[in-house]
């Protein structure tokens, strides 16, 4: 489990950040899709 967290730490932090921002500013599908694409790059 620890190795998984270390390997995907950046992706997990970004995903949590996107979720928090969506809750704070209201859900925006376009914003979410753009940020998820950043994870794949």
**pTM reported for the whole predicted model:** 0.52
pLDDT digits (tens, 9 = 90+) for 1-41: 778 777 878 877 888 887 888 878 777 778 777 877 777 76
What is the chain written as a DSSP string?
-HHHHHHTHHHHHHHHHHHHHHHHH---HHHHHHHHHHHH-
Q: Structural domain boundaries of the chain? A: 2-40
Distances from the Cα of 2 to the Cα of 11, 17, 22, 41, angstroms:
15, 20, 28, 23
Question: What pLDDT does 12 receive?
Answer: 79
Distance, in Å, from the CA atom of 26 to the CA atom of 41, rounded to the nearest integer, reads 25
């Amino acid at each position: 489990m620890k190795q998984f967290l270390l390997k995907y730490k950046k992706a997990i932090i970004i995903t949590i950040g996107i979720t928090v921002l969506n809750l704070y500013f209201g859900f925006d599908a376009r914003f979410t899709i753009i940020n998820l694409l950043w994870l794949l790059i």
